């Protein structure tokens, strides 16, 4: 760290151990521990070591990847999350989780009203000479709102946290109450080799994406397959919620110029980063990147200002009217509302824009091996709609791509059955007839 002498003195005065930092927390308080790839795991572990001394603690978080004792102790800790990752799913099993459904464009409501913190743990990068630290791979997405609400701000300074440029992306050592030094590798999500089905889906989507498009790719194998498959497109722009490995590849490969964008031309815009280690190294001190809070990056009106905006997102299942369930199935929360509808609407509002919901035609249960159709006659009881039928445009499986937007309800059923897995088409046709949709 190369801070000026006066700031170095202040830094040293605020530096404490994780166990010392969490001594300020009292029973009945709300503590924000971080989100996704900007989570203060060591501070959260230290809080867990005080569990016998505390009760009625509310934890705010989202999309965590590493196990924490506080997530599975419902007698002392209540977990509120707006997007579930592997750790929140463990909390759900333990009975600790209280999920809140919110579009990421409105995430400030979570920070200010749903779960305003008394104490905020904020992971940051190493400081620059003026004492400024970046909120890292994901923190830019909402940390300014968290910082504004918290009565006590504790920084976890991590040398592995990338220093990213953007809007509301910095905090100064002067603006925290305490700081902890703890270096921990950022959680990674490895790229998977696309299956033949995913490859076929990506090719249908790629065929619809022109030169000069401004792209958003959702999380998962299909989004990355589309991204890597755009290597023959030119003058692409990036305005996305999630910065992915495949988007970084397109930037390094010269496919992205961002010169056709109306929102920050010349810059790739994102709200957070999730992928492999090389991706975090790519965005670190990368002046071609510009990070924005979810409230800006995911605002459909801002997305729509870019011409030829294209959004690519996924689904758990889709019914014959076009309703998409992407975060919850049969009453069981799996992920989160996220930014799917933000980008579905923003892309279609864009001049020349398109939105795609893409999924393999079959789902194979990891637990039972049971095979089921992702295109269903009706959503299962308790399933939540992520994207309403009136908003859905293109739906893609490995069997084709259909545009539902101009179709009647009966025409939608025909179109969706045509791209369902052949093993389920007869069953879906019978169900559609019984429902008066065929």
DSSP characters over 69-107:
GGGG-TTTEEEEESS--HHHHHHHHHT-EEE----GGGH
Please report the pLDDT score of residue 6 as a whole number: 78
CA 432 – CA 301 distance, rounded (Å): 36
Tokens of 181: 């030094």
CATH superfamily of 5-181: Glutaconate Coenzyme A-transferase (3.40.1080.10)
Burial label for 434, CB within 10 Å (0-12, 13-18, 19+), is exposed
- Do 5-181 and 196-434 show the same overall fold? yes
Please report the pLDDT score of residue 40 as a whole number: 98
Count, residues in the chain:
438
- Please state at what angle helix 409-418 crosses helix 422-434, rounded to 10 degrees: 160
CA 134 – CA 114 distance, rounded (Å): 25
**Topology of domain 196-434, per CATH?**
Glutaconate Coenzyme A-transferase (3.40.1080)
> Which residues of the chain fall short of a pLDDT of 50?
none
Tokens of 224: 């990355």
Please report the pLDDT score of residue 46 as a whole number: 98
Q: pLDDT per residue over 76-115, tens digit each?
A: 999 999 999 999 999 999 999 999 999 999 999 999 999 9
Cα-based distances in Å from 417 to 199, 205, 409, 412 = 21, 19, 12, 8
Query: How many whole angstroms from its chain centre is CA 168?
Result: 18
Please report the pLDDT score of residue 311 as a whole number: 99
Sign of the Cα torsion 312, 317, 323, 326 reads negative
CA 373 – CA 379 distance, rounded (Å): 11
Q: Which of the residues 42, 123, 241, 398 is marked catalytic? A: 241
CA 154 – CA 139 distance, rounded (Å): 14
Catalytic (active site) residue 42: no
Please report the pLDDT score of residue 1 as a whole number: 66
Residue extents of the structural domains in the chain: 5-181, 196-434
In 3D space, the residue among 123, 146, 140 whose CA is nearest the CA of residue 60 turns out to be: 146
Please report the pLDDT score of residue 2 as a whole number: 73
Tokens of 419: 């791209």
């Amino acid at each position: 760290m190369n801070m000026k002498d006066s700031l170095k003195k202040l830094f040293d005065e605020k530096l404490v151990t994780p166990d010392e930092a969490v001594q300020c927390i009292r029973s009945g308080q709300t503590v924000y521990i971080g989100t996704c790839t900007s989570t203060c795991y060591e501070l959260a572990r230290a809080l867990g070591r005080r569990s016998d001394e505390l009760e009625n603690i509310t934890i705010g978080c989202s999309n965590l990847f590493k196990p924490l004792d506080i997530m599975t102790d419902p007698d002392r800790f209540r977990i509120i999350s707006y997007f579930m990752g592997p750790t929140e799913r463990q909390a759900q099993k333990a009975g600790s989780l209280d999920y809140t459904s919110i579009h990421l464009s409105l995430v400030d409501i979570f920070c200010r009203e749903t779960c305003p913190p008394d104490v905020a743990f904020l992971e940051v990068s190493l400081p620059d000479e003026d004492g400024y630290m970046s909120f890292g791979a994901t923190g830019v997405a909402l940390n300014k709102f968290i910082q504004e609400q918290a009565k006590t701000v504790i920084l976890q300074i991590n040398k592995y946290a990338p220093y990213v440029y953007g809007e509301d992306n910095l905090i100064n050592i002067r603006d925290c109450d305490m700081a902890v030094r703890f270096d921990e590798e950022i959680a990674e999500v490895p790229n998977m080799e696309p299956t033949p089905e995913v490859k076929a889906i990506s090719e249908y989507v790629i065929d619809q994406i022109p030169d000069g498009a401004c792209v958003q790719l959702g999380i998962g194998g299909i989004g990355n397959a589309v991204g890597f498959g755009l290597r023959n497109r030119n003058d692409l722009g990036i305005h996305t919620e999630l910065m992915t490995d495949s988007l970084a590849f397109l930037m390094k490969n010269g496919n992205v110029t961002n010169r056709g964008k109306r929102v920050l031309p010349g810059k790739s815009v994102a709200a957070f980063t999730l992928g492999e280690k090389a991706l975090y190294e790519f965005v670190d001190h990368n002046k071609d990147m510009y990070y924005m809070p979810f409230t800006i990056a995911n605002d459909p009106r801002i997305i729509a200002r870019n011409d030829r905006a294209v959004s690519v997102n996924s689904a758990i299942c889709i019914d014959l009217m076009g309703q998409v369930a992407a975060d919850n199935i049969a009453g069981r929360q799996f992920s989160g509302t996220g930014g799917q509808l933000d980008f579905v609407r923003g892309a279609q509002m864009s001049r020349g824009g398109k939105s795609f919901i893409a999924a393999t035609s079959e789902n194979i249960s990891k637990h039972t091996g049971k095979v089921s159709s992702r295109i269903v006659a009706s959503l299962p009881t308790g399933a939540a709609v992520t994207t309403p039928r009136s908003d859905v445009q293109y739906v893609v499986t490995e069997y084709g791509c259909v545009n539902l937007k101009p179709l009647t309800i009966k025409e939608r059923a025909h179109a969706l059955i045509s791209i369902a897995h052949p093993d389920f088409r007869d069953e879906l046709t019978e169900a559609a007839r019984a429902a008066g949709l065929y």
